[in-house]
A and B are shown apart, each in its own frame.
Chain A
Amino acid sequence: MEEHLLVKMAKRQDKKAMEKLLQSNYSILKGYLLKMTLNPTLADDLTQETMLKAVLNISKYEHRGKFSTWLITIGTNLHRDQLRKNKRLVYSEEHMELVDHHNIEEEFIKKIEYGNLMKVLKEIPEEKRVVLILKHYYDYSYLEIAEILDCPIGTIRSRLHYAIKVLQKTMKGGEDIE
């Protein structure tokens, strides 16, 4: 069923429609929060809080852009609120979860690659990392990112440029990254 129909039904308190919306956007939201926080436990908590907030405030959703964009905006704001409360965010390599694959070698390689990716992203300051994630992984335009993060397009552009410079420096100097 098309997203805008599901949203209409969800606004009329149709629980099944709301569940379908959450299911279809779960991977996008969790993937984003995972890359942003670099902490799977925190990402899980934020995913749950974000979805809860979305369910409770579905009547306020204005149909501007995709539903996933709205979820990402909520998630970003929740994460920002947590940072303001000075919660310690710890990057934990042991708790990374992967999809079950039959091929153990492939799984091992994916774990290494995923670990390296997280290490690379960790080098970038949080506010710049968010821009890079939204641009590179979700292909949002500068304008859309500016709306999500509530800052000027020029700032978005310079943060992205900074993130890329840090990444390139890390990739040149980092031995783990291949």
Chain B
Amino acid sequence: MNNTCKEYEEILMDIYYGEAEMSIEVEEHLKNCEGCMQFCCELQEMGETLSQPQDIPIDYGIIRNVMETAEGVEAKKSNIRELALFILLACGLLGGIAGLVMLGYAKPILYLQGILHMGLPLTLPLILWRRKRKEGYNV
């Protein structure tokens, strides 16, 4: 087989798969070249052999598995993000407090802490009372 036929084989393959159109030149060559005509017929046969139907039923179990796994992965990612954010905020807050202490504001910070720790729980009955009023309970 000469080089020209090799080129025609590739063109015939392109034509078979719809990547090119049959030209007059190719048609003329096919009329005169047994080898290329044979190649053309073999392409058709090959196509029929390959195109055997294969039914693939949908496996809903696998898809459910995938969705559950993906949910688990997303939940882990979310937890890691939240932990990272918490660490960042905590470091920022502690860093801020440490800075204030170094600037000499340790006493005010301690007094503030004391007020918050002792004062806030005392406001709890008030918060509960207001909540109960809002939700319509008899106090």
The residues of A with any CB-CB pair to B shorter than 8 Å are 15, 18-19, 22-23, 26-27, 30-31, 34, 44, 47-48, 51-52, 55-56, 98-99, 110, 113-114, 117, 120, 135-137, 139, 141-142, 157, 160-161, 164, 167-168, 171, 177
Asked if residues A26 and B43 are in contact (CB atoms below 8 Å), the reply is: no
- A55-B70, A114-B52 as given contacts; A26 in contact with B59, CB under 8 Å: yes
Residue numbers in B under 8 Å from A52 (CB-CB): 66, 69-70, 73
Asked if residues A171 and B67 are in contact (CB atoms below 8 Å), the reply is: no
Residue B50 is within 8 A (CB to CB) of chain A in the complex: yes
* Nearest-Cβ distance from residue B63 to partner chain A, whole angstroms: 5
Asked if residues A114 and B54 are in contact (CB atoms below 8 Å), the reply is: yes
Asked if residues A27 and B62 are in contact (CB atoms below 8 Å), the reply is: no
- A135-B17, A167-B46, A168-B42 as given contacts; A18 in contact with B54, CB under 8 Å: no
Q: What are 26 A-to-B residue pairs whose CB atoms are below 8 Å?
A: A15-B67, A15-B71, A22-B67, A23-B60, A26-B56, A27-B56, A27-B57, A27-B58, A30-B59, A56-B70, A98-B55, A99-B56, A110-B52, A136-B47, A136-B50, A136-B51, A141-B19, A157-B13, A157-B14, A160-B13, A161-B10, A164-B43, A168-B42, A168-B46, A171-B45, A177-B49
- The interface on chain B, measured as residues whose beta carbon lies within 8 A of the other chain's beta carbons, has a size of 34
- A51-B63, A52-B66 as given contacts; A113 in contact with B56, CB under 8 Å: no
Asked if residues A26 and B13 are in contact (CB atoms below 8 Å), the reply is: no
For the complex of A and B, list the 6 residue pairs with the smallest distance between their C-beta atoms, beginning with the closest: A99-B55, A55-B70, A27-B56, A51-B66, A26-B58, A22-B63
Asked if residues B65 and A48 are in contact (CB atoms below 8 Å), the reply is: yes
Which label, helix, strand, loop or mixed, suits the secondary structure of the B interface?
Answer: helix
Known: A51-B66, A113-B52, A117-B49. 16 other contacts (CB 8 A): A19-B63, A23-B58, A30-B56, A48-B65, A48-B66, A56-B73, A98-B55, A114-B54, A120-B49, A139-B18, A141-B19, A157-B14, A160-B17, A161-B13, A168-B46, A171-B42
Residue numbers in A under 8 Å from B57 (CB-CB): 27, 99
A-B contact count (CB 8 A): 86
- A26-B63, A52-B69, A141-B19 as given contacts; A117 in contact with B52, CB under 8 Å: yes
Residue numbers in A under 8 Å from B70 (CB-CB): 52, 55-56
Give the docked Cα–Cα distance between A7 and B82 (Å). 28
Residue B74 is within 8 A (CB to CB) of chain A in the complex: yes
Residue numbers in B under 8 Å from A26 (CB-CB): 56, 58-59, 62-63
Give the docked Cα–Cα distance between A40 and B42 (Å). 29
Give the docked Cα–Cα distance between A162 and B70 (Å). 40
Question: Digit string of B62-90 for contact with A (CB within 8 Å is 1, else 0)?
Answer: 11011101110110000000000000000
Q: Smallest CB-CB separation from B62: which chain A residue? A: A48
